Chains A and B, each alone.
Chain A
């Protein structure tokens, strides 16, 4: 690790920390109540949307109503994205004349973008028309992120409010998230990225003749507008197949740095908003601290693993599959950032990482993507772990477990368990079924433990709504498109619905004042405990399969064996 690498990591963390409080304060103001924000013009714009769609912004929803609105909106989203792909050959803005997408790939992609996963079983530039990219995929990049944001806000309200069923209005939260956060932030970032050289036009591919005299097809299109939200919304779905490794998506070291920062900035700020809304800003910082610690620890572990001398070559830090322009460090950092957050954009092929670095990327996702995590999803995922920690540790201090004055009882724990078990079950069962069936095995490019990692990665990425791919697995088959679509759907909504139910239950409870006997969640001790619970629960669930994948591969590599 060079000093400049260390400097970059430090700068990254310092900037992230510095941006968190102001953005957190802004989010707090945005979602605290339904008072107008964004000046008279903003308020008028907001009112227009409500009048247009007959939303009464002051009308609160209980958790069932909130969940109902959210599900209807998301299921309609799946349908719209699905139909856009099936009919794209007949729709405008298709300069390359691309044909309709196969039904199973279209379904997979629709679920993928609605669930904020952005798993791409296809190559963007040769599959999706400009219209599909913009009207279906980019729209979902915004609203799926706003959905996650809304759920996180509801969690904070569940803690902050008492003796009420009112959790806020889904439509208001959705509109505000898009209108006053994601849209303006994307415009700014998009413009900066265009300045760095990211393409933004409506052209079809251009043909160029290379120095060798070969004709090269260079695909173009409205990339910058999609890239900005793909990072800010932790979506990760690239405009081009190579994603952030493509020079038109990620042209310079600065754009690379800004993109990584953009992935983390909203999830990090949500910890601050959460602290403000729940009245315990220190608790918000404790959550931030746990996330930052795990992030730094995983980065260093991954870097160490990457630098282990590969006996096949007699050297470490191999460049194959890495981002050659920015170096191994930026490839590793990006891999950790993108899997810690639920982004899934990549600037290197994760199959080319050293076994343990790939394993860490896997572990990041298996932990439920709570290390900053997806927009909203990271916070509400962390919320589940916090409840689990509070429950175990709360009993140890001799009281009914309490979280910020709310009693945690059987009803809450039932939902917590469901939300933690459901994605894990999709990962383990999906992988197990795939390694036992010809349909699952036929897509593999590599054998041995590496093959297991490829399948495990696909299901992990889907169930955790990450969307990054390990490469090496041909996932654009009927089998994988359907299996992964199911994993993505369950991984998203079998977490969101329980979280909403918990928030609804907590909001209805009374709030007990804290005393010397209550369990504190704003201390270093709690941070250590929370870290321990995250690692132990995630570790215990996945250690067996990881030992047969990345871990055994690591030991085999040390013996000079590769797959």
Chain B
């Protein structure tokens, strides 16, 4: 179905206004017109026209194949755009004016309007929650079915038009006017309607146009040289050197392969991002992603899992590790924080300790408070008196508690505390009554595989900088474990902004992710700023990409997509230019093979250039044109998929792509043209 639409669009795109945007294909199109006109003249004058017609048809095919590639690339986004549009159209809004509520169409909302949304309502436009909290189904844009929480204030206040409130009631202040909402931008983007040429695409177009001019010169003047040579040899070449043949030579030489696939490559690059749930506001940002030198990454959520986890029990002298673990588990049973749970789990894993069957009436849980900074449990005897008092907490807090019992921390435990802190962890002391049992080490757990990811980035020449609010000691330890190149401890948004400016002043391109309103200036300053969809509206407006999954690790994938986009363009350009060598060896001997052949029937001297041994001059020309057209269709999958990307250094990538697309581009047309020639000759087409 999609393919049928694409075929229809291929013809629609023959419109000169469309072709004009792509100089290479415009020249091809003109050539096809010229060649067809010459067929018409042939027919009118009663000359044989079969060969010229075949050339003309294949020239038209060349243009159509290029159109088809573009239409196919666009078609992939269209289906997504359709479903997005459905979300947009039927929305009704409940606008608040004072205490009055009026029903208006979503299209009538203006920035600043307040609207009410209750469970079951579609949110009518992009905005900021100013009152209330609600769970929202954002699957229409993210594809993620699990509902998310949106609340006023804080970093989760942005809502998107077209998403659905599942529960509760919120008041939203609209921030985007009609036609400028996130959904509108997204639709325009996936449809390719707003597509402008990106800087690199523009530069490449200049080079391709330059090559086209060179070949127009070479082929245009060739007619003069051919006439001179024919006169010098006393021969008549006018039967072979005709307008369709010269046009065929020109079209074979100009870079139609890359010219025809250029926009398909760009569109599918954007499409790859969209399929990873990243919305870029411009193609420029995608390209910039490939150029990134420095990644600023937030520690929490990107480099480490969100929470600290218990990793070790360090018993005090004379205490069994199992005893410490048991007490620690006991103290954490009522602790519902992730840290507390991790202690219970660690004790279970290390010592097979099951959470003991505590009878609620026999235990009094002591919750964590900001004052005591400790939590624990008092086990009671049958009379309700404290039998065992277990506490866990920060070193100084437990020390205070112990001081009441005239006990101080043993020296070994002090050392353990310092040791854990130095390694970037957070130590908790466990004490039972007047006994210090030991230390639990809590640590930020670095995400699995992230170190390898950073190593890859380093090979690609990208430096990673970890941003964290931790103190320098902790930050340094985590930085070392995660393998980042640099870190910023106790970082504030202002420091982030300053760091970005500093890197940029040194000529580097910086990418970062962010979600809070205070990240907005840094997001705007960064060359690539990826805002989390879960973040505030201000952050989403400031960045040039929005990640619908709100996954900060995605930045790495975005960089890869950007690089892949540029690589695909470069590789196909190289391929296209390298192809020309073989085409010369096909067409020039075809045109001039008989030149200066002095005895009749003898092959001319330039037939020595017919190294492919092509059947006849006409079959050689036709084969070259057919190859040139077919190679475009053959490469459409590559253009849509992108050249394979590997995280290795520039030289290795270059060597690989040169071998495949440079050498391959040199050799493959020799094989392809020869094969087509055999078929053309067998079918008696020329």
Q: Is the CB of B577 within 8 A of A536?
A: yes
- B-chain residues with CB within 8 Å of residue A398 when the two chains form the complex: 290, 562-564, 566-567, 645, 653
Q: Is the CB of B566 within 8 A of A399?
A: yes
Q: A391-B207, A396-B571, A519-B650 in contact; A449/B578 too (CB < 8 A)?
A: no
- B-chain residues with CB within 8 Å of residue A511 when the two chains form the complex: 507
Flag B552-585 by CB within 8 Å of A: 1 or 0 each.
Answer: 0000000000111011011101100110110010
Residue of A nearest to B587 (CB): A544
Q: A428-B218, A536-B581, A544-B219 in contact; A397/B654 too (CB < 8 A)?
A: yes
- A-chain residues with CB within 8 Å of residue B167 when the two chains form the complex: none
Q: Is the CB of B227 within 8 A of A436?
A: yes
Flag B180-219 by CB within 8 Å of A: 1 or 0 each.
Answer: 0000000000000000000110111111011001110111
Residue of A nearest to B588 (CB): A547
A181 CA to B662 CA, complexed, in Å:
43
- Point out the residue from A162, A400, A405, A433 that lies within 8 Å of B199, measured CB to CB: A400
Q: Verify if A413 is at the interface (C-beta below 8 Å from B).
A: yes
Q: A512-B507, A551-B606, A552-B592 in contact; A517/B227 too (CB < 8 A)?
A: no
- B-chain residues with CB within 8 Å of residue A388 when the two chains form the complex: 207
- B-chain residues with CB within 8 Å of residue A421 when the two chains form the complex: 210, 213-214, 217
Q: Is the CB of A413 within 8 A of B207?
A: yes
Q: Which of A528-547 contact B (CB under 8 A)?
A: 529, 532, 536-537, 539-545, 547
A-B contact pairs, 28 of them (CB 8 A): A393-B574, A393-B654, A393-B658, A398-B564, A401-B203, A410-B203, A421-B210, A428-B218, A428-B220, A429-B217, A431-B224, A433-B224, A436-B227, A436-B228, A452-B225, A515-B293, A515-B461, A516-B461, A516-B650, A523-B651, A525-B651, A525-B654, A529-B658, A540-B214, A541-B214, A544-B584, A547-B606, A556-B596
Q: Verify if A128 is at the interface (C-beta below 8 Å from B).
A: no
- A-chain residues with CB within 8 Å of residue B592 when the two chains form the complex: 547-548, 552
A463 CA to B204 CA, complexed, in Å:
27
Q: Verify if B608 is at the interface (C-beta below 8 Å from A).
A: yes
Smallest Cβ distance from A223 to chain B, in angstroms? 39
Smallest Cβ distance from A151 to chain B, in angstroms? 21
Q: Verify if A229 is at the interface (C-beta below 8 Å from B).
A: no
Other A-B contacts than A413-B206, A544-B225, A548-B592, 4 sampled, CB-CB below 8 A, are A392-B573, A449-B232, A449-B596, A548-B595
Q: A540-B580, A541-B218 in contact; A517/B650 too (CB < 8 A)?
A: yes
Q: Verify if A417 is at the interface (C-beta below 8 Å from B).
A: yes
Q: Verify if A448 is at the interface (C-beta below 8 Å from B).
A: yes
- B-chain residues with CB within 8 Å of residue A541 when the two chains form the complex: 214, 217-218
Smallest Cβ distance from B215 to chain A, in angstroms? 8
Q: Verify if A39 is at the interface (C-beta below 8 Å from B).
A: no
Smallest Cβ distance from B643 to chain A, in angstroms? 8
Q: Is the CB of B507 within 8 A of A396?
A: no
Q: Which of A384-428 contact B (CB under 8 A)?
A: 388, 391-401, 405, 408-410, 412-414, 416-417, 420-421, 424-425, 428
Q: Is the CB of A448 within 8 A of B221?
A: no
- B-chain residues with CB within 8 Å of residue A433 when the two chains form the complex: 224
Q: Verify if B655 is at the interface (C-beta below 8 Å from A).
A: yes
Flag A371-395 by CB within 8 Å of B: 1 or 0 each.
Answer: 0000000000000000010011111
Q: A447-B232, A516-B459 in contact; A432/B507 too (CB < 8 A)?
A: no
- A-chain residues with CB within 8 Å of residue B462 when the two chains form the complex: 515, 517
Q: A429-B217, A541-B214 in contact; A396/B605 too (CB < 8 A)?
A: no
Q: Verify if A49 is at the interface (C-beta below 8 Å from B).
A: no
- Point out the residue from A409, A420, A448 that lies within 8 Å of B210, measured CB to CB: A420
Q: A447-B232, A561-B596 in contact; A396/B574 too (CB < 8 A)?
A: yes
A270 CA to B356 CA, complexed, in Å:
84
Q: Verify if B226 is at the interface (C-beta below 8 Å from A).
A: yes
Residue of A nearest to B294 (CB): A515
Q: Is the CB of A392 within 8 A of B645?
A: no
- B-chain residues with CB within 8 Å of residue A435 when the two chains form the complex: 224-225, 227-228
Q: Is the CB of A545 within 8 A of B221?
A: yes
- A-chain residues with CB within 8 Å of residue B508 when the two chains form the complex: 512-513
Q: Verify if A559 is at the interface (C-beta below 8 Å from B).
A: yes
Question: Which one of A399, A410, A558 has the greatest number of beta carbons of chain B within 10 Å?
Answer: A399
Q: Is the CB of A417 within 8 A of B605?
A: no
- Point out the residue from B200, B222, B253 that lies within 8 Å of A545, measured CB to CB: B222
A536 CA to B214 CA, complexed, in Å:
12
Q: Verify if A282 is at the interface (C-beta below 8 Å from B).
A: no
Q: Which of B566-623 contact A (CB under 8 A)?
A: 566-567, 569-571, 573-574, 577-578, 580-581, 584, 588, 592, 595-596, 598, 605-606, 608-609
Smallest Cβ distance from A460 to chain B, in angstroms? 13
- B-chain residues with CB within 8 Å of residue A510 when the two chains form the complex: 505, 507
Q: Is the CB of A395 within 8 A of B291?
A: no
Please count the residue pairs between chain A and chain B whose beta carbons lie under 8 angstroms apart in the complex: 224
- Point out the residue from B220, B226, B253, B653 that lies within 8 Å of A397, measured CB to CB: B653
Residue of B nearest to A517 (CB): B461
- A-chain residues with CB within 8 Å of residue B577 when the two chains form the complex: 392, 536, 540
Q: A396-B658, A512-B507, A519-B650 in contact; A432/B584 too (CB < 8 A)?
A: no
- A-chain residues with CB within 8 Å of residue B581 when the two chains form the complex: 536, 539-540
Q: Verify if B233 is at the interface (C-beta below 8 Å from A).
A: yes
Residue of B nearest to A513 (CB): B507
Q: Verify if B649 is at the interface (C-beta below 8 Å from A).
A: yes
Smallest Cβ distance from B185 to chain A, in angstroms? 25
Flag B49-67 by CB within 8 Å of A: 1 or 0 each.
Answer: 0000000000000000000
Q: Which of A296-338 contact B (CB under 8 A)?
A: none
- Point out the residue from B206, B506, B605 that lies within 8 Å of A552, measured CB to CB: B605
A424 CA to B229 CA, complexed, in Å:
21
Q: Verify if B460 is at the interface (C-beta below 8 Å from A).
A: yes
Q: Is the CB of A517 within 8 A of B228?
A: no
Q: Is the CB of B460 within 8 A of A548?
A: no
Q: Verify if A555 is at the interface (C-beta below 8 Å from B).
A: yes
Smallest Cβ distance from B161 to chain A, in angstroms? 35
Prevailing SS type, chain B contact patch: helix
Q: Verify if A190 is at the interface (C-beta below 8 Å from B).
A: no
Q: Interface range on chain B: under 10, 10 to 19, 20 to 34, or 35 or more? A: 35 or more
- A-chain residues with CB within 8 Å of residue B540 when the two chains form the complex: none
Q: Is the CB of A429 within 8 A of B653?
A: no
Residue of B nearest to A414 (CB): B206
Residue of A nearest to B287 (CB): A400
- Point out the residue from B213, B233, B649, B662 that lies within 8 Å of A516, measured CB to CB: B649
Residue of A nearest to B605 (CB): A555
Q: A517-B461, A517-B649, A548-B592 in contact; A395/B573 too (CB < 8 A)?
A: yes
Q: Verify if A8 is at the interface (C-beta below 8 Å from B).
A: no
Q: Is the CB of A536 within 8 A of B233?
A: no
A33 CA to B432 CA, complexed, in Å:
77
- B-chain residues with CB within 8 Å of residue A561 when the two chains form the complex: 596, 598
Smallest Cβ distance from B244 to chain A, in angstroms? 17
- A-chain residues with CB within 8 Å of residue B204 when the two chains form the complex: 391, 395
Q: Verify if B534 is at the interface (C-beta below 8 Å from A).
A: no
Residue of B nearest to A556 (CB): B605
Q: Verify if A196 is at the interface (C-beta below 8 Å from B).
A: no
3 closest A-B pairs (Cβ-Cβ)? A517-B461, A395-B570, A398-B563
Residue of B nearest to A555 (CB): B605
Smallest Cβ distance from B201 to chain A, in angstroms? 9
- Point out the residue from B202, B253, B564 that lies within 8 Å of A410, measured CB to CB: B202
A93 CA to B217 CA, complexed, in Å:
47
Q: Is the CB of A399 within 8 A of B218?
A: no
Q: Verify if A252 is at the interface (C-beta below 8 Å from B).
A: no
Residue of A nearest to B591 (CB): A544
Q: Is the CB of B650 within 8 A of A543?
A: no
Q: Is the CB of A399 within 8 A of B290?
A: yes
Q: Verify if A491 is at the interface (C-beta below 8 Å from B).
A: no
- B-chain residues with CB within 8 Å of residue A241 when the two chains form the complex: none
Q: Verify if A94 is at the interface (C-beta below 8 Å from B).
A: no
- A-chain residues with CB within 8 Å of residue B496 when the two chains form the complex: none
- B-chain residues with CB within 8 Å of residue A558 when the two chains form the complex: 605
Q: Is the CB of A395 within 8 A of B654?
A: no
Smallest Cβ distance from B217 to chain A, in angstroms? 5
Flag A162-189 by CB within 8 Å of B: 1 or 0 each.
Answer: 1000000000000000000000000000
